[in-house]
Amino acid sequence: MPIIKPVNGKHPQMSEDCYIAENATIVGDVSMGKQCSIWFNAVIRGDVHYIKMGDKVNVQDGAVIHATYQKSPTTIGDNVSIGHNAIVHGCTINDNVLIGMGSIVMDDCIIQSNSIIAAGAVVTKNTIVESGSVYAGIPAKKIKDISPELVSDEINRIANNYVKYSSWFKD
């Protein structure tokens, strides 16, 4: 049974069609749209500020989403994949974004639509990732533009696959 609990009177809100793994943790001021999936050992902690997620967001195994107390909430758009063991903290992620495995996105960053953060990248505080870009490295820098094929073949494919995968686990 997942840990889903209120903090300071704020209850997590999620659509009935979302999949939440048995050992995921979602607490506090968290809202998520339709067709979201929160996977094994993922933590979404809306205790110090709100976390808002759009439709078709998948938070993969071991990922952590948090915010900064009274300063930096976390907002995630539609069709976003947050890879295994990634950390997303006090930032804004727009629509159609892939956050790679083990990457870190820090406070007050803005990841614009149709972008990819490569696996293991560290996006440092206040970075603005341009729409249609791939960022990689430590600290993360733009390495190339995204082709329309990369948007459909990677970003959309992964988000759609996680909707399919979650259907395998629903009763």
Is the pLDDT assigned to residue 150 strictly greater than 90?
no
Burial class (CB in 10 A: 0-12, 13-18, 19+), 164: exposed
Per-residue pLDDT for 42 more than 90?
yes
Q: How does DSSP assign 107-139, residue by residue?
A: TT-EE-SSEEEPTT-EE-TT-EEPTTEEEETTT
What are 51-96's pLDDT values in tens digits?
999 999 999 999 999 999 999 999 999 999 999 999 999 999 999 9
Domain-wise residue ranges, the chain: 3-165
As to burial, measured by CB atoms within 10 angstroms (0-12 exposed, 13-18 middle, 19+ buried), residue 2 is middle
What mean pLDDT value characterizes the chain? 96
Nearest in space to 97 (alpha carbons), one of 53, 39, 44, 43: 53
Q: Which two tokens stand for residue 140?
A: 């993360």
According to CATH, what is the number of the domain 3-165? 2.160.10.10
**Cβ neighbours, 10 Å, residue 130:** 14
Taking only the tens place, the pLDDT of each residue in 9-25 is 999 999 999 999 999 99
- pTM for the full model? 0.97
